[in-house]
A and B are shown apart, each in its own frame.
Chain A
Amino acid sequence: MSDEQLYPWRKKVKTLPPTFKNPIANIIHLGHIPKLVTTREKIRETLGINRKPPTAYGIESAKVEVQELIKRTELYDKATWNPTKEQTERESD
């Protein structure tokens, strides 16, 4: 008996719900889910540390690594999200 016959309910998750689109878009563009808002940057500055934390927010190579991980986990396909199309739309806006 194949796994599909044995586990009829355990269907593969083909697409993620639309609510996942924005967090995924942020991970791809920023390397993080939340955006780094100006208020937080100012607070960091007053504390005497860099405006951007030493993460994918400020380090380009870390962001590229996150993007590579996303590609390899096939998150693009699951989110049914076309990054090239989205990029074009952002530029046109």
Chain B
Amino acid sequence: MSDELLKQKVLIYDAEKCSGCYYCMIVCSFYHFEEADLEKAYLRVNPDESNPTMFVNAYCAHCEHPFCVAACPTDPPAITKDDRGFVSIDQMRCIGCRSCNYACPISIPVYEDASRTSNKCDFCDGEPRCAKYCSTGALQVVSRREAKEARG
């Protein structure tokens, strides 16, 4: 993996620290939609079914080789990975075919009825609010290198 890739920022989640307060979801929906609606957040905290005291966070990993980018049928593609490594959907180009929804292994892009397009985490243009406001530090922004080292 090139140095450029390893320097890119990604989110990392520590389930041991998560208290399940939902602040990440609240701040995400407030930043993107200006309303505190948990259902609209681009990341999702769910109680861990195997362990009632723990939580699981499903969020976009801004993959090295994103399936959503590969699946996007529009030309030029509506989903792009920029120089900083952030994968985002251009709302003006998205045709709402849901290909990215199906292609993503954890279905992170979500189809929105109101706009008839898919949408997903855009990393808040480099400063993810979910990590910024995470009170326990369970969500953190680290480089891809650090994330790889932490995950082994």
Q: Which residues of A contact B (CB under 8 A)?
A: 1, 6-13, 16-17, 19
Contact = CB atoms under 8 A, between A and B. Distances in A.
Contact of B22 (A1, A6, A11, A13): A13
Contacts of A10: 39, 44, 58, 107, 110
Contact of A12 (B39, B98, B101, B102): B39
B119 to A, nearest CB: 12
Contacts, number: 35
B106 interface: yes
Interface in B67-123: 98, 101-102, 106-107, 110
A8 B107 contact: yes
Secondary structure dominating the interface of A: loop
Nearest to A10: B44
A6 B107 contact: yes
Nearest to B45: A13
Contacts of B98: 6
Given A11-B46, A12-B39, A13-B39, A6 B101 contact: yes
Contacts of A16: 22
B5 interface: no
